[in-house]
Structure 1
Amino acid sequence: MFISKIINTIIIIIISYTLVKLIEYLLNKLFQFTKFDVRYENTLCSVLSSISYYIVFVICIVLILREFNIVDATKFGSLVTGASIIGLIAGFASQSILKDIFNGFFILFEKQLQVGDFVIINEEFRGTVEEIGIRSTSLRDWDLRRITIPNGNIDSIRNYSKNKMRVVVHVRVSYEEDPMKVIQSLEEVCEIMNDKFSDYLYKPNSSEESKKFSVYGVTDIEKNTVGPQYTITGVVKSYKYFLALKETKLQILIVFNKNNIRIAYPKHINIISYDNKDSGDFE
């Protein structure tokens, strides 16, 4: 008798696992026929898969408990009793679980995150959103490590994938450099970015003004700095942000090198004093 219950339990687990995989397969097939944004489709698929996992898991637990006569799904009283036992066991963790679930729903409804977004969470975890569930969110970082964060622990989100972003690049040059020559060189960099890399630029609609790369000007001449700071800015497509940032810095180095403009760096001058008796040895 006990062996048959074990066998039935194994069968229930196998069927539950197969059902979860079938639901995941059907969801992927379903979203192939929809016309939503790809990231939005992946987000919905991730969330619906997560919900289905929990539903199948609860049903699986109830069926297993019924096999061992702990719960009788046909009798309301025993079902309530079994549910009470499960609820009592889960009650210790219920607060954190509910916090995760509620925070997850807020994140989804407010569209703070979507699968495929590059984000920084809590100013600590950075990577591409790989999966969003009702309890947790998973990222894949630069080293391809998977980071899973409970939704209830998410306090701040910095999203780099919301249509447009402003590239801001600062560069310091020596105080001896001609400011007008520096600005002209930076304008040359902006022309290169606007022409050669125009596909990086954000294309606004008719109600928005186009904001190409331009020289913002001198943004810092404070004392105790190695040189004045110049800044250029440009608005680009969000998914091109890091490419545009790297290319802008590279073009600054190329143009400055061509125009013989020196980028500032810390200098240390050591002054060594000698006695008069030894001064004749040095001229």
Structure 2
Amino acid sequence: MLIGKLINSVIIIVLSYVLLKLIQYLLNKLFELTKFDERYENTLCSVLSSISYYIIFVVSLILVLREFNIVDATKFSTLVTGASIVGLIAGVAAQSILKDIFNGFFILFERQIQVGDFVVINEDFKGTIEEIGLRSTSLRDWDLKRITISNGTITSIRNYSKNKMRVVVHVRVSYEEDPMKVLDSLEEVCSVMNENYKDYFIKDSRGEITSKFKVYGVTDIEKNPIGAQYTMTGVVESCKYFSALRDTKLQILIIFKKNNVRIAYPTHINVVHYNEDRN
């Protein structure tokens, strides 16, 4: 009798696993036919897969418990016993689980993040969203490590994938440099970016760039004794942000070197004398 119950339980588990994989396969096929935004499709697929997992898990658990006569809707006593067990487990975990689910619901409802977005969560976890579930969110960082965060612990999100972003580049230059020469060099950097990297920019319906790179000016001469801070900005597509930031910094180095403009760096050196007694 016990062996038969174990075999039935294994069959239930296997069938549940197959059903879950079938649902995931059908969801992927379904979203291949839709015309939603790709990130939105991936997000919906991730959420629906998560919901399916929890439903199948609960149903499978009830069926397995029923095999061992722990839960049986036809018998009041076993139903009470099963309910007591479930109630005990739920009572211990309910607070954190409900917090995760409610927070996950609002994250999804408000579309704060989607699968494929590059985000910084809680000012600590940085990476690309791979999966969004009811209880947790998973992302992949620069080192390809998968990080899973409970939705209930998410307090802040910085999303780098919301259509457009402003590239802000600061550079410190020695006080001895002619300010007009520095500004002219930065204008040259802006011209290079605007001419050679047009695919980075936001464009209007006519295909014209809406906001090019420009020199913002001197933004600090007090906080740092080694040099004045100059700033340039430009608005680009969010998916091109890091490439634009990297290329802008590279062009600053190239053009400053060509124009003999010196970037500020500390020149104070501490010399420590070490006296060693010799016999």
Relative to the length of structure 2, the TM-score reads: 0.93
| Partner Cα distance (1:156, 1:123) in 2 | 7
Number of the residue aligned with 1:259: 259
Tell me the residue number matched to 2:6. 6
Q: What SS is found at the alignment partner of 1:210? A: coil
Give the distance between the partners of 1:144 and 1:270, measured in 2 at CA: 41
Change (3 A) 1:20 1:267: same
Alpha-carbon displacement from aligned partner over 1:183-232 (angstroms, at most 9, x marks no partner): 111001001111100100122468x9922100000001116521111000
Q: Percent identity?
A: 76
Question: Counterparts of 1:71-220 in structure 2 under 5 Å?
Answer: 71-74=71-74, 78-79=78-79, 81-204=81-204, 210-220=210-220
1:12-50: CA deviation from partner (whole Å, max 9, x where unpaired) = 000000000000000000000000000000000000000
**Residue 176 of structure 2: SS of its match in structure 1?**
coil
Q: In structure 2, do the counterparts of structure 1 residues 243 and 93 end up closer, same or farther at CA, with 3 Å as the change threshold?
A: same
The 2-side partners of 1:95 and 1:117 are apart by 29
Match of 2:241 in 1: 241
Equivalent residues of 2:214, 2:233 under 8 A apart: yes
Residues 44, 223 of structure 1: CA spacing in aligned structure 2 closer, same or farther, 3 A cutoff? closer
Equivalents in 2 of 1:199, 1:7: separation in Å? 60
Native 8 Å contact 2:202 2:209 kept in 1: no
Deviation at 1:84, TM superposition (A): 3.6
Distance 1:210 1:59, change over 3 A: same
Residue matched to 1:34: 34
Indicate how the Cα distance of structure 1 residues 69 and 257 shifts in structure 2: closer, same or farther if over 3 A, else same: same
CA distance in 2, matches of 1:77, 1:34: 49
After TM superposition, the structure 1 stretch with the greater mean CA deviation from structure 2, 214-223 or 120-129, is 214-223
Distance 1:270 1:144 in 2: 41
Matched-pair contact (CA < 8 Å) for 2:12–2:60: yes
TM-score (norm 1): 0.91
Greater shift, 127-136 or 76-85, is seen at: 76-85
Amino acid at match of 1:96: S
Instruction: Write the deviation string for residues 132-167 of structure 1: whole angstroms up to 9, x where unpaired.
Output: 000000010000000000000000000000000000
User: What amino acid is aligned across from residue 192 of structure 1 in structure 2?
Assistant: V
Post-superposition shift, 1:76?
A: 7.0
Mapped partners of 1:141, 1:40: distance in 2: 21
Count matched residues: 271
CA distance in 2, matches of 1:265, 1:142: 29
Measured against aligned partners, the alpha-carbon deviations of 1:49-105 in whole angstroms (never above 9, x if no partner) come to: 000000000000000000001111455774465234212222111000000000000
2:270 and 2:147 mapped to 1: Cα distance? 48
Task: Supply the distance in 2 between the matched residues of 1:79 and 1:223 (Cα, whole angstroms).
Answer: 71
User: Partner amino acid for 1:181?
Assistant: K
Separation of aligned partners in 2, 1:90 and 1:202:
50
User: Are the equivalent residues in 1 in contact too, given 2:69–2:78 (CA < 8 A)?
Assistant: no
- Measure the CA separation in 2 of the matches of 1:68 and 1:103: 36
Tell me how far apart the structure 2 counterparts of residues 189 and 217 of structure 1 sit (CA, whole Å): 13
Moved >6 Å (runs of 4+):
none
* Partner Cα separation in structure 2 for residue 109 and residue 193 of structure 1: 38
CA distance in 2, matches of 1:244, 1:215: 15
SS at match of 1:240: helix
**Secondary structure of 2:33's match?**
coil
Change (3 A) 1:224 1:2: closer
Equivalence for 2:277: none
- 1:73 and 1:239 map into 2 onto residues whose CA distance is 54
